[in-house]
Chain A
Amino acid sequence: MPLETEVLGMFAFTAVAFFGVASWALVRTLRQEGRKVELLEHQDVMDTYSPTALAELREWIDRNPDDPYVDDAREQYNACVDALKTTDRRFYDWSDDDVESLERL
């Protein structure tokens, strides 16, 4: 039985939306792991937050100085800043100017 165009179209959409997205996520995350392992072997530590995520973390710390989780947040923020200041290779898309402007909390 020949398949209708609509069925074939839905089949193609499903292939992209499910198999395509799953394959993309698998390849991307495994590649990222490869890069992380390489960085860690090279310099032992690496940046743990993207510029956007670190800026959000900083903003939250400033807005919630008495939060019970703020010490942990500050520790994670400082660990990322330390890693950025002491390493020459980065996982996320940080510019030298961005790193220069960062300070420990």
Chain B
Amino acid sequence: MSNADAKTARAEWGTRFGFLMAMIGAMVGAGNIWRFPFVTGENGGGAFLIAFLVLLFLLAVPGLMAEVALGRYTNKGVIGAFRDVVGSGGLVGFGIVVLLVNVALMSYYSPLIGWTLYYAVHSLLFTFTASGFEAVEFMDAFFANPALMIGLHTVIMAAIAAVLILGIRRGLERFVVFAVPALVFALVVMMVRGLTLDGAGEGVSFLFSVQWEYLTYSETWIAALGQALFSTGLGWGIALTVGSYLREYDDVPLGGGVFTAIGESSVGILAALAIFPIVFAVGLEPDAGAALAFVSLVQVFPEIPLGGLVAILFFVGFFLATFTSGLLITEVSVTTVAEETRFSRTQTVLGVCGGIWLLGIPSAYSVEVLDYLDFVFGNWGLPLATLAIVLVIGWVMGPERLRLLSVNKNAGIHVGHWWNPVVKFVIPAVMIFIMAYFAYDAYGTAEMIGGMVVLVTFPIVGYVLMSVVDGDERRPAGEVTGGDD
């Protein structure tokens, strides 16, 4: 395989910092804000963190290295990378599976970003600290206004399109190098404020008290597994796409693996330290999920000193976390579609964002639809996409080849032979286990049926589509997709 032509006109990250912030920005999302702190506290606190850390190093770090390395080696988006490895034909359709999962994921994530935007704007207007403000009524009125929800979904997709049209360096990179540090800054300030509240220690104890017996519970390990795999975005195609814009001399294992997985988790812990001291200081329920952010915390901002400022930090930070994830999830489809068609980047961005906008209308209209899709794609769609990527690397290309040709090339740390069986056996086995576990757990429910439909139809659609179109004339490999080089 030759990459020579691919390297001539493709965009690249302008700086290593830009690449790292893109990786972190993509992985830190809504789950870090309301899910990670609660899952930690409910599963033995410190014991959960130890299980989580073990699984991060065992699965997420090697898996992310594999994905970034494949992107860097092929210099192509998901389908192009798969074609380089698999050859032409129906099996390239595994790439379509990853693409479809990303589009579906983004269709319900965009309305959720719209929620965070709505609350961020109201935090800037000091709505939450105004006298007579009622958090529950405010949220009910918001959710009962489909026109507003669809309007926000439209604004988000338009904003994402605007950033992506500018390209990899001028759009994505410029945005993330400011947004991610701003998010971290907001969380640090909020943490300092929260930790100085009376009763904040209870929140810290909830997170860090070590209940060792939890390490013997299978539920703890399954919860840690889900968090380690899904919060790091392993197998979504994001790491592959971001890696495909790496410069030739960049490192994969240190930045694409260790920093991304551990850094993203560090932001999750920071969010926990920012939120839980406040939650416990004012006696809120820690397991409120989305309602924790949109109802519970909103109620306490007027009660704590500098509450208006804390509300701004929280909701603007929350918006930045979700928006950067949305940008990178959409970029997976933009890069891939631009490479596979004759459309320009601008045309592709408009087409992809328009398509996602259309598909996202039901989720914007109804929170129930959004919840349903989140369950289906979180438990079956994403493991399926991850399985597709690791199977192509582990069983078609072979991990040893990728390790020698890309992972250890220009690497900041050496990755040894131990990496091969992890990519070839352990990660695929874990993904199959997760899908089987959730099928068993949700047996007979509408969610499980939806999950099975995704598991069966997406690979068939991908296989048939690529069998038909692969072999048609396509634009030359490596033609500009990043838009600004």
A interface residues (Cβ-Cβ under 8 A, vs B): 1-4, 6-8, 10-11, 13-14, 17-19, 21-22, 25-26, 28-30, 32-33, 36, 40, 46, 48-50, 52-53, 56-57, 60, 67, 69, 72-73, 76
User: Which B residues touch A40, using CB under 8 A?
Assistant: 249
The minimal Cβ–Cβ distance linking B322 to chain A, given in whole angstroms, is 21
B interface residues (Cβ-Cβ under 8 A, vs A): 1-2, 15-17, 20, 45-46, 49, 53, 199, 201-202, 204-205, 208-210, 249-251, 254-255, 258-259, 262-263, 265-266, 269, 400-401, 404-405, 408-412, 414
A76 lies within 8 A of B259 (CB): no
Interface of A is mostly: helix
B251 lies within 8 A of A32 (CB): yes
User: Which B residues touch A57, using CB under 8 A?
Assistant: 404-405, 408
A1 lies within 8 A of B201 (CB): yes
Give Cα distance in the complex from A94 to B201, angstroms. 52
A50 lies within 8 A of B258 (CB): no
Give Cα distance in the complex from A72 to B405, angstroms. 8
Contact of B205 among A4, A52, A76 (CB under 8 A): A4
User: Which B residues touch A13, using CB under 8 A?
Assistant: 46
The minimal Cβ–Cβ distance linking B275 to chain A, given in whole angstroms, is 16
B254 lies within 8 A of A36 (CB): no
Contact of B16 among A29, A56, A73 (CB under 8 A): A29
The minimal Cβ–Cβ distance linking B49 to chain A, given in whole angstroms, is 6
Whether A2 touches B263, Cβ cut-off 8 Å, given contacts A7-B209, A46-B249, is: no
A53 lies within 8 A of B20 (CB): no
A18 lies within 8 A of B262 (CB): yes
B254 lies within 8 A of A69 (CB): no
The minimal Cβ–Cβ distance linking A1 to chain B, given in whole angstroms, is 4
Whether A29 touches B254, Cβ cut-off 8 Å, given contacts A21-B262, A48-B409, A57-B404, is: yes
With most chain B CB atoms within 10 A of its CB, the pick from A36, A46, A67, A73 is: A36
Since A7-B209, A36-B410, A73-B405 are in contact, a sample of 11 more A-B pairs with Cβ atoms closer than 8 Å, ordered by chain A residue number, is A1-B205, A10-B45, A10-B210, A11-B204, A14-B46, A22-B262, A25-B259, A25-B263, A29-B259, A53-B404, A56-B404
